[in-house]
Amino acid sequence: MTGWRTTLGAAVLAAVVGLPGVARAGLWEDAGWGVLSVLSNVGYMPAKFLYATAGSITGGFAWVLTGGDTEVADGIWTPALGGDYVLTPAMLRGEEPITFAAFGESDPQDPLGSPARPPAPLTEEQLSGL
């Protein structure tokens, strides 16, 4: 009776040990990113909440003062109420963008927008004239 249990236990153990493991970070690394995410959100979430609240109130005033012009109010509400309210470990690792304020539609391939082109370097003539 105990012989078949031992054989079954050995077969299950061999099957589990023989399975290829998924390549991923260790438990402690995941825990570290989780703790960092929680600590980051301690400051980020209240700041985002205050920004969204101020934007909501300001957008409401803009809507009233412009006689109900929703386009003007949306120009304030969209950045203030859009964006991310929580930082995730993937955001902190740089795998996903962090969007504090959403400024309308953007190119998903270029979520931060194209950076400004740096000025051209000065030539010898320009430098000698200084």
Q: Report the pLDDT value the prediction gives residue 86, as an integer from 0 to 100.
A: 93
Q: Report the pLDDT value the prediction gives residue 55, as an integer from 0 to 100.
A: 94
Q: Report the pLDDT value the prediction gives residue 107, as an integer from 0 to 100.
A: 47
Q: Report the pLDDT value the prediction gives residue 28, as an integer from 0 to 100.
A: 86
CA neighbor of 80 nearest in space, from 48, 112, 110: 48
Question: Burial letters for 59-88: b for 16+ Cβ neighbours within 10 Å, e otherwise?
Answer: beebbeeeeeeeeebeebbbbbbbbbeebb
- Which residue numbers in the chain have pLDDT < 70? 1-2, 4-25, 104-120, 129-130
65 inside domain: yes
The dihedral built from the CA positions of residue 118, 122, 126 and 130, taken in this order, carries a sign that is positive
pLDDT digits (tens, 9 = 90+) for 74-86: 999 999 999 999 9
Q: What's the structural domain count of the chain?
A: 1
**pTM listed for this prediction:** 0.58
Domain hosting 58: range is 44-104
Q: Report the pLDDT value the prediction gives residue 41, as an integer from 0 to 100.
A: 94
For residues 101 and 85, what is the distance between their CA atoms, to the nearest angstrom?
10
* Structure tokens belonging to residue 72: 């003007």
94 inside domain: yes
Q: Which residues contact 106 (CB under 8 A, 6 or more apart)?
A: 113
52 inside domain: yes
